[in-house]
């Protein structure tokens, strides 16, 4: 093992996403040797440090104080300190604090050293069996139903080649999100749900979105951390949005986001890339038929 002293600078260190053995020898050496570890949650990181007998001082740095903390730590780095940044799990900066630190250090000419390791999105992708040549990391979708649906429709419209979409999702929203995917890409769209990876209850559900949704909905409870992968085939613009009538989308936006009819129609026109008058005419046509 390398026992050279660590160079001064900022170390972005990946930590396990469940199984504490998933950490590299280099990550352990860096965590042991830096002057301080900036943690998203010091209590969470302490479990990892205790497991490996690491006593390096920690300091909290989460999404609410990352900018302020980074100013303070940048000052220490300018004075020649060696500081590690870790998140609760996985790679810092990926749906987690870390980016602001890296940007601030680079702006000050401070070396930034990545220490690679676990990442939930890539771990799920490589075991999914879906296309790994082309994939898009989406992270978390908006939590509100209307905005989430809009985001998915936007993804369907902009997906030109077959690609795997990689999303983070919460257990209490997964069934609704699968229902949205079903209406945007159709019931046969292939998906993979990677749950509790590297932990005791690790589970991969693979299949058509409709069948996975029904399987989950039948469970007494849905728990754990999960990554959702979607085999997103290109859909025609008409299909991507045509699955929802203007009337249905209008009602959805009025209910979920409290928009007036005028504002909702403006939004729908923007979503579909057509003029407001076209959407208005379409609405009149739909109303005439119902
Ligand atoms: N920075 C982390 C990374 O590199 O993996 C991601 C942090 S993000 C706040 C947390 C999300 O990652 C969870 O909501 C879940 O979607 C996913 N995740 C983390 N650990 C997981 C695991 N063991 N199994 C499945 N998904 C996991």
CA 66 to centroid of ligand 1, rounded, Å: 20
Where do the domains of the chain lie, and which CATH numbers do they carry?
A: 9-118 (3.40.1010.10), 121-144+160-233 (3.30.950.10), 245-289 (no CATH)
Distance CA 253, CA 238 (A): 19
Q: What is the pLDDT of residue 236?
A: 60
- Find where tokens 């000052």 sit: 75
Q: What is the pLDDT of residue 290?
A: 56
CA 246 to centroid of ligand 1, rounded, Å: 36
DSSP assignment of 85-139 equals EE-SSB-TTSSSTTHHHHHHHHHTT--EEEE----HHHHHHHHH-S--SSEEEEE
- Find where tokens 């209910």 sit: 255
CA 225 to centroid of ligand 1, rounded, Å: 6
The reported pTM is 0.83
Distance CA 170, CA 177 (A): 10
Question: 40, 126, 225: which to mutate for ligand 1, most atoms within 8 A of CB?
Answer: 225
Give, for all 290 residues of the chain, the pLDDT tens digit: 677 889 999 999 999 999 999 999 999 999 999 999 999 999 999 999 999 999 999 999 988 888 889 899 999 999 999 999 999 999 999 999 999 999 999 999 999 999 999 999 999 999 999 999 999 999 999 999 889 998 998 999 888 789 999 999 999 999 999 999 998 999 999 999 999 999 999 999 999 999 999 999 999 999 999 999 999 988 765 444 445 778 888 998 898 889 999 999 998 888 776 678 878 877 876 676 55
> For residue 167, which atom of ligand 1 is closest to its CA?
16
Cβ of 98 below 6 Å from ligand 1: no
């Amino acid at each position: 093992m390398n026992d050279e002293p660590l160079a001064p600078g900022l170390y972005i260190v990946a930590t396990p996403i469940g199984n504490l053995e998933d950490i590299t020898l280099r990550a352990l050496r860096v965590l042991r040797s830096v002057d301080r570890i900036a943690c998203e949650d010091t209590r969470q990181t302490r479990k990892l440090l205790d497991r490996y007998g690491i006593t390096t001082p920690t300091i909290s740095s989460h999404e609410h104080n990352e900018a302020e903390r980074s100013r303070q730590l940048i000052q220490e780095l300018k004075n020649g300190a060696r500081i590690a940044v870790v998140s609760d799990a996985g790679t810092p900066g990926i749906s987690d604090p870390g980016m602001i630190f890296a940007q601030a250090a680079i702006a000050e000419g401070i070396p930034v050293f990545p220490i690679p390791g676990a990442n939930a999105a890539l771990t799920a992708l490589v075991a999914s069996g879906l296309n790994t040549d082309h994939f898009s990391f989406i992270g978390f979708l908006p939590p509100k139903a209307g905005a989430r649906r809009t985001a998915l429709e936007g993804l369907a419209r902009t997906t030109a080649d077959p690609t795997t979409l990689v999303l983070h999702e919460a257990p209490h929203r997964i069934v609704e999100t699968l229902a949205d995917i079903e209406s945007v890409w159709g019931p046969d769209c292939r998906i993979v749900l990677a749950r509790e990876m590297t932990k005791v209850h690790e589970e991969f559900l693979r299949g058509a979105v409709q069948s996975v949704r029904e399987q989950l909905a039948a469970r007494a409870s849905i728990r754990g951390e999960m990554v959702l992968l979607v085999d997103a085939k290109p859909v025609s613009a008409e299909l991507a949005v045509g699955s929802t009538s203007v009337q249905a989308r209008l009602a959805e936006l009025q209910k979920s986001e409290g928009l007036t009819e005028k504002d909702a129609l403006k939004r729908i026109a923007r979503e579909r890339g057509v003029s407001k008058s076209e959407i208005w005419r379409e609405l009149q046509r739909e109303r005439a038929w119902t």
